Amino acid sequence: MLDLASQDLSERILVCAPFGRDAEMIERELARAGLSPYRCSLLKELCRCIEDGAGAALISDHAFGRNDVAMLAETLSKQPPWSALPILVVTSGGGSTAETRSVIRELEPLDKLTILERPLRPDTLISSVLGAIGTRRQQYQIQDYVRRLQESENTLQTYLDNTGDGIFVLDSGTGRILDVNKRAIELLSYSRDELLQLSVSDIERGLTAASLHGFSEPQLQGVVEMEGANRRKDGSTFPVEVHLTSLAPALPAQVLAVMRDITERKRVELERAEEARRKDEFLALLGHEMRNPLAAISTSLEVLSDNCTPAQRLQLRQATVRQVGMMRRLLDDLLDLNRITHGQIELKKESLDLGDFLEKAAAAVRPTIAERRQKLVVRHPTKPVFFMADRIRLSQIVANLLGNASKYTGQGGRVELSGAVKDSDIVLRCRDNGQGVSPESAERIFEPFTRGHMVRDSYGEASLGIGLALVRQLVELHGGRISVKSGGAGMGSEFTVRLPLIAPQGSQAVTSEPKSKAATQRAQSIVIVEDNPVVATSMKMALEQAGHRVHVFSDGPRALASVDGLKPDAVVLDIGLPGMDGYELAARLRRKSKVRSALIIAVSGFEQKPRAESRGDNFDHYFIKPVEVSTLLTLLSNNFRNGAKSEASKKHLKPKKSKRAVRPRVLLVEDHPFAADATASLLRLEGLEVRTALTGREALEEAPKFRPQLILCDMRLGDMNGLEVIRSLRSNPATKSTHAVILTGFSGTEVREFNRRADEFGVNEFISKPLGRSMIRKLTARLRPQQRDAVHRS
C-alpha cells in the first residue's frame, strides 16, 4: 500500500473540502485505502501547498469562493513545463451547473482535470485518486529522465569543449559546417555563428564538399586520416592532422572531422631532421678532418724509418707532435662539449691576475703566430687586477679565440688580445684583421658543429665547428656572455667575452700559479700493465728516457706473478685488461706487502672516474687516455719527494673493509672477448657485479650458481642462439624470473618490432648494441625492486 504521508511534499494528496460531508467521507475512504491526505482549510492554503509541491489536489466545489478559480488557475499556470498537477473536483451538478462550468472552463486548458460527481462512490474516489497519483509519478519520471539526459549532454559537451582537437560536424553533401566545439572556435579565431555559415573548404585547404561526398556512402564508412592545413579568419594557416569519420547510418549525410593542430610536432620534426643533417655532416667532416693529421703522422713515421739526418728527424718529430696535439685538442673539445651538455663540468675558481693570465695565454700561441709571421699584441692594465675564474677553463676560452684568430688570418696578419675592467665586468677582447665573419655566420657560429661560410685558408687546421660552441658554454658557466663583431668579408673580426668581475677575498688575492713541478728525478721502478702493445711500448720508452726502470706486462696475472721481485715505486695500469680488470688487479696489488705503498695510477679509456666508494679506491690517480708523459713524470717525482707515503695516505692503502653494499649481479653472455671485456668494464663502472660467459653453454652453467638479477645475452653466440640460452634459463627455478635482455646488432626499428613480440620469445627486452651507459642505468633502475628483495632476503 502507498504510504504517501511518509513521502516528500511532491507526492502529497492535497484535500480542500471545508463544508458539508465531503471532507469526512473523503478522509475516511482515503484512510481506508491506506492513503494519508493533507487537509487544506481554504483554497488559498491549497494554492500555497501546490507551490511547495504536490502529487494531486482533491477539491470540493464548495471550497471555491469568489476569484478562487482564477487564483487556482494562476497558481497552476506557474508550474514548470513538464508538470501538469492532476486536479479532482467534487461537484453535484456534473458539468451542468454554472459554477462547475466556470471551473472547467478556467482549469481544463491548463491541467489534468477530473470531475467527480456526488453522491461520491468510494471506489470511484479511490481509483480516481490512484490514477491521478500514477499520472503524477510518470511526470516525475519523465522529468528525472530529461534532467539526466540534460546532465549527460552537458558532460559530453564539456568533454568535447575541453579536448585539444577542433571537432566539426559537416554536411557531406554541401560541406557546410553544422556544429563545432569550443577548441575549433579557438583554433580558427572565428565566432561560432560565423563558422556555422562556412563550408569545410573555407577552413581546410585540402578538403572540399566533393571530397566529403563519397565518404558518407555506407559502403565507404570508416576513418580517413590525412595531413592538411587549416586557415584562420585572418588568412594565416597552420598544419593539422585531419581524421574524418562517417556518422552514417545514425546520422546519414554527416561527417565528423577532428582537426589536430600539429604545429609543434612539425617544428620538432624539422628540428630533428636538421639535427640529423648536422650530425651526418659533422661525422663526414670529422672523418675528413681526422684523416689529415693522421696522414701527416703516418707519412712522418714512414720517412723516419729510413735513414734520415738528425735535422730531418727533429723536423718530422715536431710535425708529428703538432698533428697529435691537434687531434688531442679536437677530441678534448668534443668530450668537453659533451660533458658540459650533460652538466658534468664544474668550475674550480681561483684568484687570477688579469695581466699575468693574458701574458701566459698569449705565450702558448706565440710559436704558431711566429711561424705564420703574424703579429700578436697583448694589452692589459699595468696594475694587478685580481678576479676569480677557473684558470684551466678560462685558458681554454682564450686559447680557442687566439687559435681561431691566427687560423683565420693570413700570413703576416695581426692579432690583438686585450683585457680590461669595465663597469663590473672583466672584458676580454680578441681581435684580428683576417677573413672576418659574415653577418649570417655571426648568428650561427656559436652553435655546435657549425662552421662559418668563409672557412678557407686555415693553414690545414681542422675545422669542425665545435671550438666556439665550447667557448660559449664555458663563458656561460662563468656567468658571462660572448659576442662577435666584424666588418664582413676580409675585414677581420673581434670576439668579446664579458665575465662578471668577482674579486677574491682577502689573502686569496694572489695569483696562484701552480708551483713549478720540476723536481729532482730519481730512477724509480715502474710497472706498466697494458694490453695494447703500442701504448705500452711508447709509455715505456718515454719513462725510460726520463731515467726510470720500466717493466711491462700485458695482463694482470702476469704482473701479479712477477711484481714482488720488482719492488715497484709505481704501477701504471689500464682498466680494460683481458681476464682481470684494472680494479681487481689494483685490489690484489694492494694486498702484496712489496707493492702496498707503491703509487697506483689508472689510465683508462673510459671516460668517467669510478666512485671512490665502489671500486676505484685502490688508485692514487685516475686518468683518461691519453695521459701526457709529463704528467706522469711529475707524479713520479712528487712521489719520490714525498718519500714514503704520509700516514694519512697510508691509511687508505690498506684494503678497506667494504660496507656490505648489495650490487646487482649481471651475467654478460658475449662470445667476442674484446666486446665482452669492454662491456663488462662499463657495467662495473656503473657499480654492477659482473660475470662473463663467452659461450651459451658456459652461461647455462654459470647462471644458476651466480644467480644474476640481470642477464645480458648476445643474440648470436658461437655455440647457440641467445634466445635458446634464455629459454633454457627460464626452465631453471634459479633463473626463472631473472630480467633477460637480448643484445642485437639490429637497427632501432627492427628492435622495436622484436620488443613487441618479446613475451613470445620469453625475453624481457631486446636492445641494440652497443650498450651505452645511459641504457645500463635504465636497466639498473628497472632492477631496483629485485635488488631490494635481495637485500631483504640476505
Looking at the Cβ atoms of 37 and 448, the one nearer to ligand ADP is: 448
Least distance (Å) from ligand ADP to the CB of residue 354?
22
Measure Cα distances from 466 to 334, 445, 450, 471, 606 in Å. Answer: 7, 9, 7, 9, 22
Nearer to ligand ADP, 58 or 464 (CB): 464
Listed in sequence order, the residues at least 6 apart from 251 whose beta carbon sits closer than 8 Å to its beta carbon are none
Q: Could you say which of 55, 86, 293, 465 contacts ligand ADP (CB under 6 A)?
A: 465
Cell numbers placing 767: 636492445
Bridge partners of 572, per DSSP, are 528, 601
Residue (436 or 504) nearer to ligand ADP, CB? 436
Site map (CB under 6 A) of ligand ADP, residues 377-396, x = contact? --------------------
User: Which CB atom, from 166 or from 452, has the smaller least distance to ligand ADP?
Assistant: 452
What is the smallest separation between the CB atom of 491 and ligand ADP, expressed in angstroms? 10
Neighbours of 45 (CB within 10 A): 14
Determine if 404 is a binding residue for ligand ADP (CB under 6 A): yes
Find, among 516, 524, 664, 519, the residue nearest to 601 by Cα: 524
| In the complex, least distance from residue 294 CB atom to ligand ADP, rounded to whole angstroms | 17
Nearer to ligand ADP (CB atom), residue 462 or residue 559: 462
**Which segments within 444-519 are labelled E, that is strand?**
481-486, 493-500
Q: Rounded distance, CA 385 to CA 401, Å?
A: 21
User: Which H helix or E strand runs over 674?
Assistant: helix 673-685
Which residue, 449 or 623, has its beta carbon nearer to ligand ADP? 449
Name the minimum Å distance from CB 289 to ligand ADP: 8
Out of 11, 29, 432, 686, the residue judged to bind ligand ADP by CB under 6 A: 432
Minimum distance, C-beta of residue 370 to ligand ADP, in the bound complex (Å): 18
Of 722, 731, 727, 737, give the one whose Cα is nearest residue 767. 722
> How far are the Cα atoms of 181, 530, 551, 694 from residue 574, in angstroms, in the given order?
67, 5, 14, 22
Q: How far is the CB of 397 from ligand ADP (least distance, A)?
A: 11
The count of chain residues that interact with ligand ADP, using the rule CB under 6 A, is: 22
467 binding ligand ADP? (CB under 6 A): yes
Query: Peptide bond before 249: cis, by omega within 30 degrees of 0?
Result: yes
- Three cell numbers, residue 552: 711491462
Cα–Cα distance measured from residue 789 to residue 791, given in angstroms and rounded to the nearest whole number: 5
Binding test (CB under 6 A) with ligand ADP, winner from 419, 452, 480, 556: 452
Within residues 602-631, the interface with ligand ADP by CB under 6 A covers none
Q: Which of these segments, 228-236, 447-455, 539-547, 580-588, binds ligand ADP (CB under 6 A)?
A: 447-455
Sequence-separated (6 or more) residues with CB below 8 Å from residue 576: 531, 582, 604, 605, 606, 677, 678, 681
CB of 436 to ligand ADP, least distance (A): 6
Which one of 229-237, 464-472, 706-714, 743-751 is the stretch in contact with ligand ADP (CB under 6 A)? 464-472
Q: Which residue has the cell 658554454?
A: 473
User: DSSP assignment of 135-180, as one string?
Assistant: HHHHHHHHHHHHHHHHHHHHHHHHHHHHSSSEEEEEETTT-BEEEE
Which residues share a beta bridge with 525?
Answer: 549
Stretch that binds ligand ADP, among 8-16, 342-350, 460-468, 615-623 (CB under 6 A): 460-468
Instruction: List the one residue from 37, 434, 568, 582 that touches ligand ADP (CB under 6 A).
Output: 434
CA 515 to CA 520: how far, in whole Å?
A: 14
Q: Is 445 in the site for ligand ADP (CB under 6 A)?
A: yes
Q: Which is nearer to ligand ADP, 91 or 463 (CB)?
A: 463
| Rounded least distance, CB 646 to ligand ADP, Å | 44
Among 23, 437, 527, 603, contact with ligand ADP (rule: CB under 6 A):
437
Number of H helices and number of E strands within the chain?
A: 26, 27
DSSP character string of 50-113? HHH--SEEEEEGGG--TTHHHHHHHHHHTS-TT---EEEEEESSTT-SHHHHHHHHHHTTTSEE
Q: Which is nearer to ligand ADP, 450 or 768 (CB)?
A: 450
Residue of 100, 493, 618, 679 that binds ligand ADP (CB under 6 A): 493
Closer by beta carbon to ligand ADP, 223 or else 491: 491
Residue 621, SS3 per DSSP: strand
The reply on whether position 435 binds ligand ADP by CB under 6 A is yes
Task: Name the one range near ligand ADP by CB under 6 A: 99-107, 302-310, 446-454, 741-749.
Answer: 446-454
Q: Which of 699, 708, 764, 758 is nearest to 728 (CA)?
A: 699
* CA dist list (Å): 528 to 68, 537, 565, 591, 615: 119, 10, 15, 18, 20
Q: How far is the CB of 342 from ligand ADP (least distance, A)?
A: 20
The verdict on 463 binding ligand ADP (CB under 6 A) reads yes
Cell of 759: 613475451
C-alpha dihedral, 394 to 399 to 404 to 407, nearest 10°: 180
Q: Tell me which of 464, 552, 570, 725 binds ligand ADP, using CB under 6 A.
A: 464
Q: Which is nearer to ligand ADP, 95 or 460 (CB)?
A: 460
Cα separation, 421 vs 544, whole angstroms: 48
Residue with smaller CB distance to ligand ADP, 113 or 454: 454
Which window, 81-89, 400-408, 418-426, 763-771, contacts ligand ADP (CB under 6 A)?
Answer: 400-408
The set of cell numbers assigned to 308 is 734520415
Q: Which of 451, 548, 615, 684 binds ligand ADP (CB under 6 A)?
A: 451
DSSP 251: S
> Using CB atoms, what's the residue nearest to ligand ADP?
452
Q: Among all chains, which residue has been given the C-alpha cell 562556412?
A: 198
Site string for ligand ADP, 660-689 (x = CB under 6 A): ------------------------------
Which distant-in-sequence residues (6+ apart) come within 8 Å of 295 by Cβ? none
Nearer to ligand ADP, 132 or 445 (CB): 445
Residue 408, interface with ligand ADP (CB under 6 A)? yes
Instruction: Indicate whether 466 belongs to the interface with ligand ADP (CB under 6 A).
Output: yes
Does 468 sit near ligand ADP (CB under 6 A)? yes
Contact between 405 and ligand ADP by CB under 6 A: the answer reads: yes
From 452-460, 606-614, 652-660, 664-672, span contacting ligand ADP (CB under 6 A) = 452-460
Q: Which is nearer to ligand ADP, 388 or 430 (CB)?
A: 430
Q: Which residues bind ligand ADP (CB under 6 A)?
A: 404-405, 408, 432, 434-437, 441, 445, 451-452, 454-455, 463-469, 493
